[in-house]
Amino acid sequence: MKYHVIVYGCQMNISDAERVSAVLERLKYKKTSNINEADLIVVTMCSVRQSAVDRIHGLVEKFKTLKKSNPKLKTILTGCILKKDKKIFVNGFDYVVDIKDIKKLPKILEIKKIINQNNYLGIAPKYSSKFSANVPIMTGCNNFCAYCVVPYVREREVSRSAKEIIFEIKNLIKRDYKEIWLLGQNVNSYKNKNTDFPELLKMVNNIPGNFWIRFTSSHPKDFNKKTIDEMAIGEKITPYLNLPIQSGDDKVLKSMNRHYTVENYKNKIKDLRKKIPGIGLSTDIIVVFPGETKKQFGNTAKLFRDVKYDMAYINKYSPRSGTPAAKLKNDVSDVEKKRREKVLTEILKQTALEKNKKLIGKKTIVLINENRDDNYFGKNEHYKTIKVKSDKNILGQLIKVKITEARPFILVGEVINGK
């Protein structure tokens, strides 16, 4: 029996799909990248934007055709699904399964095998990469930002035990993994017994080996000084942070229910830059949150000019039914929405290029994660994308590179020491 997995969404969904794969392989299913030869198709969906949900409707149509040539084909929908969408998709899929219930897959597929696991994060995953691993440390969210669907699909925060996390990471390091991503909807509010997020960072940093530690997502209200200090001390914790601001205007932040001000945020950035000079910084932005005025948008543009991000994930606001923001009026025209998005992208391009130019001639370490045509691509410690050429296969290796050329979102380099 062969299965095919389709993953949409964030790193957390990728990580969830790795657990689904592990369960299926225990049931003797074999993975195939060819959807046409699959007996089982699993879709891990995302609900953060409506466009992602619409994609699933497209898949349902495709499945109808596939089922004509393979009537035994079964389809499963899991991941982040809204209650109302569950009701809709039961018609398009054979099974709709809560991600927390994937241990029930044997029963669902009528296979007489029991998987005794009461916590789904405890399932040992089938990692999709041989050098970079996603390790969930918590899931769920208690924050209810006004635009966000996550608290409704993932429910409340649950942290994994530190012991279980450390055990998983130690095993990965034994297998020579080079990069560990600690994942959660809000990693900064990790709490298990007496271990908080900075303490967990310290514990992971103390695991012997040559590897990098990264984490996502952070929330500015919970991202604290203790975490900054731990990042500065921990030599394996990479000098990079994604700190989503969402808007550069205090009033908008308030209606988003974000619980911080632009000033609080900027002070954290200041402290970070003081303690970790040269740290790579990125953010998430929502354009245009309902009711955002030109002046309020101007404050976001100003913040972009002031902070000088290395990268920003600029998301067009997508109304999600059931969230408080969906009830707010949004009377900004599509043309104006596009303009605001463009303004931010242009500022970002300028500031990122300015900063990247200063890196020309500098040496950096890169974890190579992709090989396309003649080129290798990877990310350095600061999470900058770097392109190099190499005659040897350097995929999955930490490589020393000298930067030779700068563009806004990519640096070109040369491999040093023939390595």
Which chain residues interact with ligand 5AD by CB under 6 A?
Answer: 48-49, 147-148, 244, 246, 284, 286, 315, 317-318, 320
| Residue 151 touches which of ligand 5AD, ligand SF4, none (Cβ within 5-8 Å per kind) | ligand SF4
Q: 73 with 37: CB under 8 angstroms?
A: no
Kindly state the DSSP code that residue 386 receives in the 8-state scheme. Answer: E
Return the number of the residue (151 or 209) whose C-beta is nearest ligand SF4: 151
143 residue type, one letter: N
| Residue 75 touches which of ligand 5AD, ligand SF4, none (Cβ within 5-8 Å per kind) | none
Q: 368 with 129: CB under 8 angstroms?
A: no
Return the number of the residue (48 or 368) whose C-beta is nearest ligand SF4: 48
Pairing type for strands 280-287 and 240-242 reads parallel
| Residue 32 touches which of ligand 5AD, ligand SF4, none (Cβ within 5-8 Å per kind) | none
| Residue 315 touches which of ligand 5AD, ligand SF4, none (Cβ within 5-8 Å per kind) | ligand 5AD
Dihedral sign of CA atoms 347, 12, 382, 227 in order: positive
Q: Is residue 141 a contact point for ligand SF4 (CB under 6 A)?
A: yes
Return the number of the residue (29 or 190) whose C-beta is nearest ligand 5AD: 190
Q: Is residue 351 a contact point for ligand SF4 (CB under 6 A)?
A: no
- How far is 258 from 246, CA to CA, in rounded Å? 9
Return the number of the residue (148 or 344) whose C-beta is nearest ligand SF4: 148
Cα distances from 232 to residues 14, 141, 143, 278, in angstroms, run: 29, 27, 27, 12
| Sole residue written with tokens 């948008």 | 297
| Residue 14 touches which of ligand SF4, ligand 5AD, none (Cβ within 5-8 Å per kind) | none
Q: Is residue 195 a contact point for ligand SF4 (CB under 6 A)?
A: no
- How far is 406 from 389, CA to CA, in rounded Å? 16
| Residue 286 touches which of ligand 5AD, ligand SF4, none (Cβ within 5-8 Å per kind) | ligand 5AD
Q: Which of 117, 129, 143, 161 binds ligand SF4 (CB under 6 A)?
A: 143
Find the length of the chain: 419
CB of 34 to ligand SF4, least distance (A): 34
Residues 209-248 that bind ligand SF4 (CB under 6 A): 219
Task: State the SS3 of 232-269.
Answer: HHCCCECCEEECCCECCCHHHHHHCCCCCCHHHHHHHH
Residues 156-185 that bind ligand SF4 (CB under 6 A): 185
Report helix, strand or coil for 157. coil
Where on the chain is the footprint of ligand SF4 (CB under 6 A)?
A: 141, 143-145, 148, 150-151, 185-186, 219
